[in-house]
Each structure stands twice: as structure tokens, then as C-alpha cells.
Amino acid sequence: MLILIALISGSLFGLGLVVSGMVDPAKVQGFLNLFGDWDPSLALVMGGALAVFAPGYWLWRRQGRSHCALGTKLPKIPAPLIDKQLIVGALLFGIGWGLAGICPGPALGLGASLQWQAGLFIAAMVAGFWLVGRFNKQS
């Protein structure tokens, strides 16, 4: 049953990315271009996603468990951990997103189009995952 729920959730997420235009790098770059010809439509998409997510998250926090995976628990973190790795990772992610106009979720959907740019982005993303894994093993 959990696999079916995951399949339906992933399919709805992917459909939402396609319908909203988040798989179109030009649309994403238009959203990120605050000082030029700014396209605010993706802000509405993000707001809509938060409006759907927030009640479920609130319920999850209140109950301390998920309805689908009963073993899911919230981590006990005393304070948010903002360190050098988080800041560098966030900067690299943001720069890559701004330059390419693609982030990891939409990249996988865009990969189905077989465009060479999507393939290049996915290859770079996988290489980045690999490098982080190697770097963290050495630390």
C-alpha cells in the first residue's frame, strides 16, 4: 500500500511540476530575475504548494507520526544547525539553479524529454552527489 501511495504522490508532484512550468528553465530563470523582467507566477505555485502541505505538516507535528508510515518520527534537534557546509551547499545549489534554471525535482521530469541540457544537468547533479559523499567520508 505504501508503494502505491508513493507512486500516486510522486506522480501528482511530477504533474504539478509540468503543469506549473517548473520544468521550463526559461520560466524558472524569469522567476529568479528580480531586477529584470520578473515572472511572479512560480511564487503562486510555491504558495499553493505550501497551502496544501501546511495542514498535513501541522497535523503530523501535532500527532508526532504519519498516517502512512507509522514509524516516522520528527527529529529532536535542539537548535537549527547552520554551519559552513550548509552555507556552501546552499550557495552552490542556488547558483546552479539560477544559471541552469533547473533544480533536482524538475530535472528528473525534464530528463524524460531527452534534451541534452537536461542530461548534462542530471549528470552534474549525480557527480555532485558523488563528490559530497566522497568529501563527507574524508571528514
The stretch 10-38 carries a mean pLDDT of 86
What does the mean pLDDT of the chain come to? 82
The stretch 9-19 carries a mean pLDDT of 85
Question: Cβ(28)–Cβ(104) under 8 Å?
Answer: no
Q: What is the pLDDT of residue 50?
A: 92
C-alpha cell at 57: 505538516
Query: What are the residue ranges spanned by the domains of the chain?
Result: 2-138
For 49-74, what is each residue's pLDDT tens digit? 899 889 988 887 787 666 666 566 66
C-alpha cell at 39: 515572472
Q: What is the pLDDT of residue 72?
A: 65
Phi/psi of residue 69, nearest 5 degrees: -125, 90
C-alpha count within 13 angstroms, C-beta hemisphere, residue 67: 5
DSSP state of 82: -
For 80-104, what is each residue's pLDDT tens digit? 778 888 888 889 888 888 888 888 8
Q: What is the pLDDT of residue 12?
A: 87
Element of type H or E holding 112: none
Q: What is the largest CA-CA distance in the chain?
A: 47
Q: What is the pLDDT of residue 95?
A: 86
